[in-house]
Structure 1
């Protein structure tokens, strides 16, 4: 009878390897987000375009990544490691719901621009859905070799 190692007997979310992949990806995603936000500070109007762009880019990349991985086989082995490192870790830390929420409140408070805050939050969510869908379509077409 074959026995499982302690690492493989644990649920995936409790495995040291999985946690390390998410940690490394998260560190890199946070560093990338910080670089972009420092390179493109808030505009004079107060609109946080860097956060907006980061969240949309992350949604697109996550769509491409997850669709590509799903089309290439089961979520195990190498594909799972890529998903944890690049998807959960990098994209999860690169995109930022907390900055979206904070920036929305700041737009509300700056000159009582409630409409701008609501438009920014709703626009980010809706545009994020579109970017994710576009990412899914890109990965789908790539997997089919660009056939229609």
Structure 2
């Protein structure tokens, strides 16, 4: 009998992100990896339009917190709302790290999405962060 971890090709994991008020930090756990993996893409989909603000903005990051919860690896470039607006329900691809090991979470690692604010911050609507990975 086949197991889930025997599946081949890219598997999609979707992290639901709740709406976040300006200035309110968030770290949303999304996945505990059951097996070593390779991250092949990451996309952010805001549920409402977001207008950038160069002074008071928010940054959305995919993080690998490791098995102990203290890791700081960012497999994809964070989405900063210091520049560049978002359109409601339109997926935006995040650039993957150029460091190969950043894209190789291990079994037991925890992937999270965090929202940090600068200045007084910027309200972020509910949305989805979708990560594609394959087992290695």
Normalising by structure 2, we get a TM-score of 0.25
Query: Quick check: which has more Rg, 1 or 2?
Result: 1
Higher relative contact order (CA closer than 8 Å, sequence separation 6+)? 2
* Higher normalized strand content (fraction of residues): 2
* Higher normalized helix content (fraction of residues): 1
Normalising by structure 1, we get a TM-score of 0.24
